[in-house]
Every structure is written in C-alpha cells, then in structure tokens.
Structure 1
C-alpha cells in the first residue's frame, strides 16, 4: 500500500469549478505498474496522531510534485517568482514525512517532495534557478518537460536502485532547487552546473528524493519498483512482529 500526497487546487471538470484534491495519473499509474496499490492522501488538518494513524495503513509513502514550499518554513522572504503558499499542504507533507522517518517507513520524494524533505530536516531552497543558471532550462513553462543530464554519486542507495548507472538524462520541470542541504541528507545526483537533483537519508532503510519527474518516463520504473519492493519488505517485517506479539502477549502487570 503506497500513499501518494495530492494537490489541493481549484479545478474545472464538466460544469464544476471548485477546490479539489487531485493528482496526475502518471504518479499512481507508475505505482500500480510497479506492483503497488496506490492510495491518495489529500491535504487536511494534521498533527502527529493523525499522521501516525494514516501511516499505520501504509507500507510506503510518495511525496509528489506541485506548488512551491512556503519560504517562511526555512526563514526566507518570498521571491517575486515564488508561488502563493499552500500552507495546508506544507504542514500535511511535513508531518507525514517526519513520522515516516521516525518509523522507518520507505519513502520517495519527487520534485517538490525533495524540497519538502530538505526543508523539513532544516535545509533551504533556491527560490528561482534562472537567477543562478542564467535561463529557464529547468522549467520551460507551458507544461513542457525538458531533459537534464545528471551524474549519480557512486556507492549510494540511488546508484544501487539505478543499477550503478553513472549518468542519465531525466525529465525536469522545476524553477526551485535545494540550496543548503539539511543535516543528515546526502547529495546523490547533480547536474553539470551544480544543481542538486537527488538526495537520500542514510539513517533509514529507504529514503530517496529526486528533483526530476520519474513518473513521466513510462519506460523507467526503477525508482517506483524499488520503493514497492522495500514497502513489501517493510510490510512483511511489521506483520511478523505483530504476529509475534499476538502469540506471545506481554504478561499482565
């Protein structure tokens, strides 16, 4: 069971024009094709108790793409090009990620998801990459993905998942990126101009976040397959622990 966080935006369908929770089909299609069961997680009021109750039902978590993280969360004023904040989604995904890390639930961050992870752990973001790289090569606009060549760091979990592929071209659509890397995160992929395209959290069995959009490459399911495989192991281990506790209950005190 893989939970995927969703958008909460104004949407039009038929005669309706109203706020709606939704997620592009490519995300959950990739999960299903990789052998998982997709469960959508719309933004809502959250605290640790709510986050834990949600995660109790899941074997893995994907924090998906979307609008920019509120810069107030990392102590910065908003850049003119930064989106209006989606504070409900920021709080929802932050809580889910923190509790997932605490229980070592396998997780994958995608685009915004990589930024949420870095900010949740104390890092910061570049709010507008064109000011650093000189153009909009990482976000062409109009919903058109561009391609970026990334170098993958050897001897990392990401390198293992990608079968030691030293470099690859990936689909990108982002005008922000990780700036100050949070303590505990390891950079695992970068572009030639130094943009961070992937990080991982070595203190958990499976915690990867990529700045690119693997869901739009239907021919490469390696990240999703790795998450689903790790989620299956997580489920089996926790089922075994629960069964053991059921067979051998603690003595009455």
Structure 2
C-alpha cells in the first residue's frame, strides 16, 4: 500500500508473542498468544495491534510491513546470549523466541522502526545492544518487591531522567507494576533513563534513534497509556516520513 493510500489510517504495531502449550475449549495444543491487555493498550492509543508469531528467518519482511514494534514480556532470555552460565533461578531457555525477537530488532534498527520493549522486551533490547543481565535480582537488592511470586505484581516507585523520552510520556515520578526477577546490568549504546529506589534500571533509550525505548515494568496493566500513545505517534511519523 502506498503512503498516499495509507494516509488517515491508524498505524500498525506488531507485538511479539509466546508460543506455548495452552488450553481453550476442548483443545490442548501449541498456541501463539499474548495477554489481551497489550492489544487493548495499543488500540486505546489509536493504533492497530498485530500479533507476531515466531516465523524463523522472516523477520525482515515482517518488520517492513509494520509502523512500530513492541517486544513484549515473557520468560528469561537465554544467558548464553550474553555469555553467562545459567543461574539456578533462571527459567528454561526459549531459543526460538530469543532468535525471533533479536531478528525483529535487527530489522527495526536498520529501518528506523519505532520500538517499545516491555519487561522481558527491555532485557532483549539490552542483550541486542551487547549488554548483560542480572539473572536473579533478589541476590543483588535483597528483596523480591519486583516480583513477589506466582502471578502477583509488585508496585515499585520509579524516577525518570530529565529530558528523556520516558519522562515526557509518563512524568518525573510514578508507581509502576512489575513482574521480573532479572534486570539489566550493561547496556552499551543505550542510556538508562529511569531507576527504582534500589538502583534497578527501569528504562533504557537510544539517544540516536527517534523512538527506541524499553521499560522494565508492565504499562499495559496500569492506568497510564502514555508509552503506547508515544509509540503510536512515533509509528505514524515513521510511516509518513
């Protein structure tokens, strides 16, 4: 579709998804899925959400059809991706998902496609940049407030950096809900633009790109949709630019 034909249409945002064993109706089978709060948040921001199941080596062609990209939350990144041995608390590796999301980021970086990383997505962005992760955050901070256990979300106060994209979208201070036991340590080329009180990196940005932002929390579970609006606006500019 030409740029002229796309004028007036909402931007299309791709969301990476899980491939897991699932149950629905009478079925028990492998499924490609994602919590519907992601799509609802994208839709509330005025964009169209499209789930991106793992497609092997087709990431380049997929990203070329998108106006923006979300690397969504999920299980731990394989520590082999950043040259580390597996911690006993690290979840089983999902190499196909790691490879798929890293390939999506490769193409998004080449095309200048706006990207928002959420929770695991932030960590994937850091690893994509050549960074490393802390595999079990309670070992470092001495508490489990970032992930209380089970399906419970933690509530953590976060301070954003002055003149950052994340501050422009969500403000200087906010309470965020989170569910992660890992965190970013090294993030070459990316700038940490939000932190929790215990020092945990809560947001990363690439200052050389128009919109390349990851957050450690789950904005789709909160009342604030500023991050999704920011992505949708950046996606529209990207398409029209």
Q: TM-score, normalised by structure 1?
A: 0.89
In the aligned structure 1, how far is the partner of 2:85 from the partner of 2:29? 30
Confirm or deny that 1:112 pairs with 2:120: yes
RMSD: 0.9
Cα offset, 1:193, TM superposition: 0.9
Confirm or deny that 1:17 pairs with 2:28: yes
Between the two proteins, the alignment pairs up a number of residues equal to 230
Matched with 2:238 is 234
* SS of alignment partner, residue 156 of structure 2: strand
Cα offset, 1:228, TM superposition: 0.4
- Once the two structures are superposed, the pairs formed by residues 1-253 of structure 1 within 5 Å of their partners are 1-46=12-57, 50-162=58-170, 165-181=171-187, 183-217=188-222, 219-237=223-241
After superposition, give the CA deviation of every residue in 1:141-197 in whole Å (9 maximum; x if it has no partner). Answer: 2211110001101011112222xx22110011000000122x210000001111001
Larger radius of gyration: 1
After superposition, give the CA deviation of every residue in 1:116-158 in whole Å (9 maximum; x if it has no partner). Answer: 0000110000000111111211111221111000110101111
Q: Is the 8 A contact 1:8 1:19 kept in 2?
A: yes
Q: TM-score, normalised by structure 2?
A: 0.93
Q: Unpaired segments of 5 or more residues in structure 2?
A: 1-11
Runs of 4+ more than 2 Å apart = none
Q: Unpaired segments of 5 or more residues in structure 1?
A: 238-253
Single out whichever of 130-139 and 222-231 deviates more from structure 2: 130-139
